[in-house]
Structure 1
Amino acid sequence: MKLGVNIIGDIARIMEAEVKAGEKAVTTAMRDAGTGLKSAWRAQITGAGLGTRLARTIRSEQYPKGRPSLNAAALVWSKAPVIVGAHDTGPLIRSKDGFWLAIPMPEAGRSIRGGRISTGEWERRTGMRLRFVYRRSGPSLLVADNVRVSKSGRVRENITRHKDGRISSRLKGRATAVIFLLVPQVKLPKRLGLVRDARAVESALPGMIVANWEETR
């Protein structure tokens, strides 16, 4: 039995067209994969109740830029990797100096920069000193003495400042308010599964390349 092979057309031109089709297919598939993974991660973050602001830190980029390539790649990342990574892994958080983590209560208010306020900032802003209360069972406390707590939850110093410079303390409404809880460590709950989405996109990528590969004639 004899077999014969006939090449119809210019082999060099055929190969060149096939390479271009492959470059286009790989580049398109990588672009779609990067965009899809970015959307999936953003949806996870908002679905976990972490807010749209954190979700918008997820970005994607394609390489090389501006031209198709068989070696095209997509990069998906967060501009807030520490925060996103913490919610993805659920780490055990300890104080840097080995003492306490101060968890602000609602009465502490928020930082002027947004987010949680520190003990130092609270004392500077209010002009009041915090008192440490050790508890054998349960978290220890940082409290503010001789204060008034308004209906809105704001803590004010329970004193009257007179025009002549005298300061007198009011007896009515005087209270001690818990401003911070002190704990040795906190286990952050795992709220995201970013690797799951990344693996799903990785598994779908070969099929995406084939689907975008146009036949050459």
Structure 2
Amino acid sequence: MSPRLHAAIVGDLEKHMAAEIKGAADAATAAVRQAGDGLKRDWRGQITSAGLGQRLANTIRDQYYPKGRASISAAALVYSRASKIVDAFDRGVVIRSKAGFWLAIPTELAGSGLKGRRIRPGEWERRTGMRLRFVYRRGVPSLLVADNARITKRGLAAASRSKTGRGQVTAVIFLLVPQVTLRKRLDLDRAAREWQERLPRLVHDNWPEIESEDQ
């Protein structure tokens, strides 16, 4: 007589399956959060390492779905709140004036605009009460300059109060160029691919061990 193999499931099958499904959901959710957080750190690190500043790096944020619960279908969204700027440095682009004229690049004498943004010629004139004069230069950037200006202790150009002309200068406030080329300084896709490849291992590491009922 040939031997027979007898097999039986020990314990409550539904309970075992529920525990496995919960374990899978917990593992997937934890792994996705670790990958999303890691990608956010890597993107922020790339931005600061490229010399683009902590402020731009802090625009990188993350969100997780579904919110408030574990799921086998957990997903992460890592994004920038300044997506156009980050994308420009990620791809490398040529920036031209929308009106087809000049791009005004402020010098250190111009200062900054509202909320730390790059100041524009019109805003600079309104703030200082001074008029800018156009200086054309062939083959090199043209200029917008302020005549009869003074340089403050903060290194900014301002209106001169001198009646004798003492200390007055012609200050270069903006450089005018037809276009600006931003070279590629980031590689966000590479970091995303690396964390995507790590995801199966993260799921494995977060998978809980299910104890059997006879232990």
TM > 0.5 between the two? yes
Q: What is the DSSP-based 3-state SS (H/G/I as helix, E as strand, rest coil) of the residue aligned with 1:107?
A: coil
Q: Distance in 1 between the 2:201 and 2:72 partners?
A: 15
Q: 1:177 matched to which residue of 2? A: 171
Q: Is the 8 A contact 1:58 1:78 kept in 2?
A: yes
**Cα separation, 2, equivalents of 1:174 and 1:84:** 40
The amino acid of 1:133's aligned partner reads V
2:65 counterpart of 1:63: yes
The alpha carbon displacement at 1:171 in A equals 4.7
Query: Kindly tell me: are residues 174 and 18 of structure 1, through their superposed partners in 2, closer, same or farther at Cα, counting changes over 3 Å?
Result: closer
Structure 1 unaligned segments of length 5 or more: list them: 161-168
Residue 91 of structure 2: aligned partner: 89
- Tell me the equivalent position of 1:6: 7
What does 1:134-213 correspond to in 2, within 5 Å? 134-150=136-152, 152-158=154-160, 160=162, 170-213=164-207
2:47 aligned residue (45, 48, 63): 45
Give the AA of the match of 2:29: T
Report the alpha carbon displacement of residue 200 of structure 1 after superposing the two structures with TM.
Answer: 0.4
Q: TM-score, normalised by structure 1?
A: 0.85
For 1:128, the equivalent position in structure 2 comes to 130
Residues 157 and 28 from structure 1, CA distance in 2 versus in 1: closer, same or farther, beyond 3 angstroms? closer
Distance of aligned partners of 1:151 and 1:14 in 2 relative to their CA distance in 1, 3 Å threshold? closer
What is the percentage of aligned positions where both structures have the same residue? Answer: 56
Residue type at the aligned position of 2:28: V
Q: What is the alpha-carbon distance in structure 2 between the residues aligned to residue 88 and residue 196 of structure 1?
A: 11
CA-CA distance at 1:174 after TM superposition: 4.5
Question: Aligned pair count?
Answer: 209
How far 1:54 sits from its partner (Å)? 2.1
| CA root-mean-square deviation | 2.2
Structure 1 stretch 169-178 or stretch 25-34: which is displaced more? 169-178
Divergent runs of 4+, >4 A:
171-174
- TM-superposed deviation, 1:173: 4.4
Write the distance in 1 (CA, Å) between the matches of 2:135 and 2:201: 62
User: For each residue in 1:104-124, what CA deviation from the matched residue of structure 2 results, as whole angstroms up to 9, or x when unmatched?
Assistant: 111222224313211001111
1:192 match: secondary structure: coil
- Write out per-residue CA displacement over residues 81-128 of structure 1, whole angstroms, 9 at most, x where no aligned residue: 122222222211111111000011112222243132110011112222
Query: Mean alpha-carbon deviation: is it higher for 149-158 or for 126-135?
Result: 149-158
Q: Offset at 1:51?
A: 2.3
Query: How far apart, in 1, do the equivalents of 2:156 and 2:18 lie?
Result: 72
Change (3 A) 1:112 1:69: closer
